């Protein structure tokens, strides 16, 4: 369980370095959840190309999920 907690702490820390926090919605520069998920996964080396390769897929649907998440949750990013 502590390994999972450590991994999640790393993800939260990375999100905070991108200017996202609980008050992000009060600043300028609107972004969506899909954008943030893509940015963080890419930081850890998980890209659409790698995902398709791992699961032997022609299309992974990542762009559709990203757009869906962006429409579901969006907020304003604080400046660094």
Q: Which band of pLDDT confidence, cut at 50, 70 and 90, is reported for residue 5?
A: confident
Beta strand ranges found along the chain (DSSP E): 30-32, 74-76
The pTM assigned to this predicted structure is 0.55
**Mean pLDDT, range 2-18, rounded to an integer:** 80
Nearest alpha-carbon partner for 35 in 2, 74, 7: 74
In the block, tokens 């604080």 appear at: 78
Q: State the Rg of the chain over Cα.
A: 14
Taking only the tens place, the pLDDT of each residue in 12-64 is 788 788 777 656 554 446 688 898 899 899 999 999 999 899 999 999 888 99
Bridge partners, 75 (sequence order): 31
């Amino acid at each position: 369980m502590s390994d999972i907690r450590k991994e999640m702490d790393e993800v939260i820390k990375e999100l905070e370095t991108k200017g996202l926090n609980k008050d992000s919605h009060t600043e300028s520069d609107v972004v969506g959840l899909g954008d943030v998920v893509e940015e963080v996964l890419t930081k850890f080396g998980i890209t659409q190309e790698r995902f398709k390769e791992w699961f032997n897929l022609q299309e992974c649907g990542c762009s559709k999920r990203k757009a869906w998440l962006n429409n579901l949750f969006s907020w304003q990013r604080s400046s660094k």
